[in-house]
Structure formats: structure tokens, C-alpha cells
């Protein structure tokens, strides 16, 4: 029986496959740097065969493999859909915050757990108020991993952009829970 040495291409494919398989264990929302020598098109072909959804981020001299938070999206437009969803979520939070500031105290108290007139006057909004206003909307319900994650990630984005500031709740602003200063 005659044995053949594997070709360089076959070894390269096996190396890429091994790398992608090791990335399957990576939790959703995390990324890893691609091992040196792996080409973009090889990596893309291997990812397309997998059931787990990844996005390849090209940094020029290096590649990064990012695991999406959901595996139920199509391979076309993965990155645009995920970033577009978050943009839509943050825009809806901004709309609710602006409406909160323009509304009178009686309208605001309908969605609050307790009287939040002091918080309303000081431009402070509660997490529970945001969730009551936004949690049932389609943008939040259809977000990968649900409405709670959507609101949490949207608030994190707005904190990074200095639209909101998380402040310590000492109980003087109404009900308990997380509260945010609208800047």
C-alpha cells in the first residue's frame, strides 16, 4: 500500500479548520485574533460551512474573528443587521428620553413604579421606566437575546456616548433600581 504526503493546501485547510473549531468554544460576543498565515478567503469559506455565526474583522495586518450573539441569522449581511439593530435600539431610547423630558410629571408617573417627580425635574430617568416604555416594542422584542439585553446594550452605548450617566440611587428619586442622568 502506498501512502501520500498531504499537500500544502490540504495542510493549510486543516489548520484553518482546527482554528475555527477551537473558536466554537468561544462565548457569544467575544472575539479572538486569527493565527498568522490564515488567509481571509480560506477563513470565510470555513466559517460558511459552520453552523455558528462569526464575523471576520480585517484590521489590515491582522484578522479578528468575532462570534455573534445569535446563531440564527443568515450569512448575508450579518454585521450590518447586528449593528443596525443596536443603532435602532439606541435611537428608540433617545426618543423616549426626549419625550420623558418634554412630558409633564403626570404623564411620566403613569409608567413609573412610584412618584418620580423629583427625578423628572432633575433629568433623571429610571431603568424600569425605560423598560416599561420600550420592552414590548418590536425593535426590542426581536433583538437577538431579547428585550432586556437590547435595553442593557443600548444604555451602555449611550453611556459611552455621554448621552446618559449612571448615577447611584440613594432612594431619594423615587423607586429603587438603576437610574441615569440625561445629559
Mean pLDDT of the chain: 76
Average pLDDT estimate for 15-31: 72
**Residue spans per domain, the chain:** 8-67, 78-182
pLDDT score for 95:
92
Rounded CA gap, 80 and 1, in Å? 52
Is pLDDT above 80 for 148?
yes
Q: What is the pLDDT of residues 115-128, one digit of tens each?
A: 778 888 888 888 98
C-alpha dihedral over 83, 168, 172, 107, to 10 degrees? -10
Rounded CA gap, 33 and 64, in Å? 4
Q: In terms of Cα–Cα distance, which of 155, 146, 157 is closest to 126?
A: 155
- Structure confidence at residue 138 as a pLDDT band (50, 70, 90): confident
Class of residue 120 by CB neighbours under 10 A (exposed 0-12, middle 13-18, buried 19+): buried
Alpha helical stretches, state H, the chain: 8-23, 40-49, 78-102, 105-110, 117-121, 127-134, 138-141, 147-160
Average pLDDT estimate for 130-148: 84
Query: How are beta strands 54-58 and 31-33 bridged, if at all?
Result: unpaired
Q: What is the pLDDT of residues 72-117, one digit of tens each?
A: 444 433 333 355 678 888 889 999 999 999 988 888 888 776 777 8
Amino acid at each position: 500500500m502506498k501512502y501520500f504526503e498531504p499537500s500544502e493546501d490540504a495542510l493549510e485547510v486543516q489548520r484553518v479548520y482546527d482554528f475555527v473549531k477551537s473558536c466554537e468554544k468561544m462565548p457569544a460576543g467575544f472575539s479572538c485574533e486569527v493565527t498568522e498565515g490564515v488567509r481571509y478567503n480560506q477563513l470565510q469559506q470555513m466559517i460558511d460551512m459552520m453552523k455558528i455565526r462569526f464575523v471576520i474583522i480585517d484590521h489590515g495586518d491582522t484578522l479578528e474573528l468575532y462570534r455573534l450573539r445569535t446563531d440564527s441569522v443568515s450569512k448575508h449581511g450579518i454585521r450590518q443587521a447586528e449593528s443596525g439593530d443596536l443603532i435602532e435600539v439606541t435611537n428608540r431610547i433617545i426618543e423616549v428620553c426626549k419625550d420623558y423630558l418634554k412630558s409633564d410629571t403626570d404623564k411620566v408617573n403613569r409608567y413609573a413604579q412610584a412618584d418620580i417627580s423629583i427625578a423628572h425635574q432633575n433629568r433623571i430617568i429610571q431603568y424600569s421606566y425605560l423598560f416599561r416604555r420600550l420592552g414590548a416594542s418590536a425593535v426590542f422584542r426581536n433583538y437577538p437575546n431579547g428585550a432586556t439585553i437590547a435595553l442593557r446594550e443600548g444604555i451602555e452605548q449611550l453611556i459611552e456616548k455621554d448621552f446618559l450617566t449612571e448615577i447611584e440611587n440613594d432612594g431619594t428619586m423615587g423607586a429603587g433600581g438603576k437610574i441615569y442622568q440625561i445629559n
